[in-house]
Amino acid sequence: MDKIFRVNMTDLTTKIEEVPAAWAGLGGRSLTSTIVSAEVPPTCHALSAENKLVFAPGLLTGTPAANSGRLSAGAKSPLTGGIKESNAGGTAAQMLAKLGIKALIIEGAPKGDAWYNLAVGVNGVTISEEKELLGLGNFAVIDAVEARLGKKTGVLTIGPAGELKMTAANISVKDPDSKIRSHGRGGLGAVMGSKQIKFISIDGEGAPGVKIADPEKFKIAARTFSKAILEHPVSGEGLPTYGTNVLVNILNEAGGLPTRNFTTGQFKDHDKISGETMYDTIVARGGKPKHGCHAGCIIQCSQVYHDKDGKYVTSGFEYETIWGLGADCCIDNLDDIARADNLMDDIGIDSIETAVMFGVAMEAGILNWGDSKEMLRLLTDEIGKGTALGRILGGGAGSVGRTYGVTRVPVVKNQAIPAYDPRSVKGIGVTYATSTMGADHTSGYTIATNILNVGGYVDPLKKDGQVELSRNLQIATAAVDSTGMCIFVAFPALDIPECLPALIDMINARFGIALTGDDVTNLGKYVLKTEREFNQKAGLSNVHDRLPDFFKNEPVAPHNAVWDFTDEELDEFWNF
């Protein structure tokens, strides 16, 4: 039977607990959000001992189900002030699931200045003081932990940004190549830093593995599910070939590629940073155009990007990062963006928040538009070293906006708006405004239906149908985020009739239960309502379900579109 592993950093004790009956059917996001809601006072300071950091693998994580290896991390966010769930690939989720760990809850905070590491294994968690690795970047931490504990060890770690409690700090997860995946958004690295934990190692030795109640049923459903993923043009072809960066040219064409801190919707140098260019570059330099973030991934949207000498630069090189440093900061040099991606992984800072932040910093005059050399210097010498300027930048887009008096700051609930202009792709604007997470494209990815014609088509430039589209996708996503599945399984699930039933069949076969489609929808609704209730108690009301004023006041080229939803129309989102 799965257990809850609980670590108290105030008195440095650990416990193994039974799973409460009410949590038995939950996993991933549904479990982290339930635990945070139940145990964290919504008005507490997110960096205080009262906050808790919760890791939970999904319901299907650790099984052979394709693309089920995502780990949810949850807490009260120091960036948004609301609840946060951020999920990532890497090796940790499957190791935790196979160890029978339903959730790892880290609570309290040390009274002194000492830092610690946690070692998670089949018999529980050991807390040890950590001195050697403090101040190091994430790559060095992973290397050192592997040297100490062996190549197979799982690692969750924070870089200097997390140690300094920067609100854009992320939590890094070791991937199958000993590189990095990230719980990127919402400043969870600062929460881990506030608990004075530099890294968590995971030892899979002796793990009982995941038991499947009905292996035969599971196998059939898993095959159907995999087939659907491979058959769909987005998950089976677009993503594997060009990665998420396939979107640069698509969004530029649609006029929804936010450029120069969201002043226009097209970037004249889009070709230089596009997925197609990236593919050719990777192939020419001997990198890998296809790569998975966790074992069992059959989409392989990641890649390994080399420099012109054929040496490793980065992997997990995502569209949102490339868009943010590229179009939004007017940087047309893909090599410099790749180098920045590597630095952000090493420093441990969210690449979306940071990229959007640089656009605001350019508007503030901290550096010039398109100056990638200065951007790299700021990452290395300021953010990485925690100077005063580095701390401002490491606080994200809102921090720079507040500190420099900038009024055009693309954030919702203080979290940076990613990669898709809400004026010209209105569905995603509804998601940004209403998501319990702050601006977050992954929480209801209407780009599927607004731009990619997946799950039908809703005209991105018109208001009609957008609230309903975002609502349906946010509900479905909250459920998918509970399974441990990669969000990209939504593409086949929206278009291929056998896909979603197969996913539900796998859950039923895993646990020996009989969920219906309605049950899954209800799970998604429950997650959103639980998160919203937490946010309301934390002081985030309907007033915070809004986009910044400049989206209303500034039409964006090429469509001259403005953000024209009324407050009442947006509030309709919660009518379910």
Closest approach, Cβ 81 to its own copies, in A, equals: 10
Candidates 14, 48, 521, 522; binder of its own copies (CB under 8 A) is 48
Distances (CA, A) of 255 to 107, 248, 274: 45, 11, 15
Q: Total binding residues for its own copies by CB under 8 A?
A: 36
Closest approach, Cβ 539 to its own copies, in A, equals: 4
Closest approach, Cβ 267 to its own copies, in A, equals: 25
| C-alpha to C-alpha distance for 508 and 517, rounded to whole angstroms | 11
Where on the phi/psi map is residue 484: left (φ > 0), alpha (ψ -120 to 50), or beta?
A: left
Instruction: Name which of 229 and 400 has its Cβ closer to its own copies.
Output: 400
* Contacts of residue 431, Cβ cutoff 8 Å, sequence gap at least 6: 440, 441, 443, 444, 445, 446, 470, 473, 474
Of 523-542, binders to its own copies (CB under 8 A) are 537-539, 541
Distances (CA, A) of 526 to 34, 74, 467, 576: 9, 16, 18, 11
Residue 481, classed as helix, strand or coil, is coil
Structure tokens at 129: 């003081």
Of the candidates 503, 350, 343, the one whose C-alpha atom is nearest the C-alpha of residue 416 is 350
Closest approach, Cβ 253 to its own copies, in A, equals: 32
First to last CA, the chain: 35
Longest dimension (CA), the chain: 62
Instruction: Name which of 270 and 423 has its Cβ closer to its own copies.
Output: 423
Instruction: Name which of 1 and 543 has its Cβ closer to its own copies.
Output: 543
Closest approach, Cβ 389 to its own copies, in A, equals: 4
Instruction: Name which of 51 and 72 has its Cβ closer to its own copies.
Output: 51
Do residues 305 and 287 touch, judged by C-beta distance below 8 A? yes
Closest approach, Cβ 193 to its own copies, in A, equals: 7
Residue 301, classed as helix, strand or coil, is strand
Instruction: Name which of 43 and 368 has its Cβ closer to its own copies.
Output: 43
Instruction: Name which of 168 and 556 has its Cβ closer to its own copies.
Output: 168
DSSP labels, 163-187: HTT-TTB-EEEE-TTS-EEEE-TTS
Of 151-210, binders to its own copies (CB under 8 A) are 164-167, 190, 193-194
Instruction: Name which of 193 and 438 has its Cβ closer to its own copies.
Output: 193
Closest approach, Cβ 331 to its own copies, in A, equals: 22
Of 384-423, binders to its own copies (CB under 8 A) are 387-389, 391-392, 395, 399, 402-405, 407
| C-alpha to C-alpha distance for 549 and 57, rounded to whole angstroms | 38
Closest approach, Cβ 29 to its own copies, in A, equals: 24
Amino acid identity at 166: M
Binding mask 546-575 for its own copies (x = CB under 8 A): x-xx--------------------------
**Sites of contact with its own copies (CB under 8 A):** 41, 43-45, 47-48, 50, 78, 164-167, 190, 193-194, 387-389, 391-392, 395, 399, 402-405, 407, 537-539, 541, 543-544, 546, 548-549
